[in-house]
Amino acid sequence: MEAVKGQLGIASINLENINVSGEIITIVPEGVARKYELLPVDIINGQLLVVMADPLNYFAIEEVKIATGYVIKTAIAVR
C-alpha cells in the first residue's frame, strides 16, 4: 500500500488517531457513507477530507461532492 500511496500522492490516515466531531460526520448522508465505505473527518481550506476504502472511486467522490457541496480531498484509511 505504501508504494501505491506514494505514486498517487494520496494521504493515509490512521483512524485510531483521529477524533471526528459529530458535526463533520453528519455532512455526508449515512447511506452514501455506507455505500462507499467512507468517513468524513475534517474540513481543511474549504475542502472536505474523506477517508475511503477506495480513494480512487470517481463515482463515490462525485456523489459525495454533489451531496455535500464541498470539493473532496481523499485519503486511505489505515489501521
Query: Mean pLDDT per 10-residue run, the chain (79 residues)?
Result: 60 86 93 96 96 93 97 88
Q: What's the pLDDT at 9?
A: 75
Domains of the chain from N-terminus onward: 2-78 (3.30.300.160)
Please tell me the number of Cα atoms within 13 Å of 74 on its side-chain side: 21
Backbone angles phi, psi at 40, to 5 degrees: -75, 135
What pLDDT is recorded for position 6?
A: 56
Partners of 53 in the beta sheet? none
CA 52 to chain centre: 5
pLDDT confidence of residue 17: 82
The pLDDT of residue 35 is 96
pLDDT of res. 14:
86
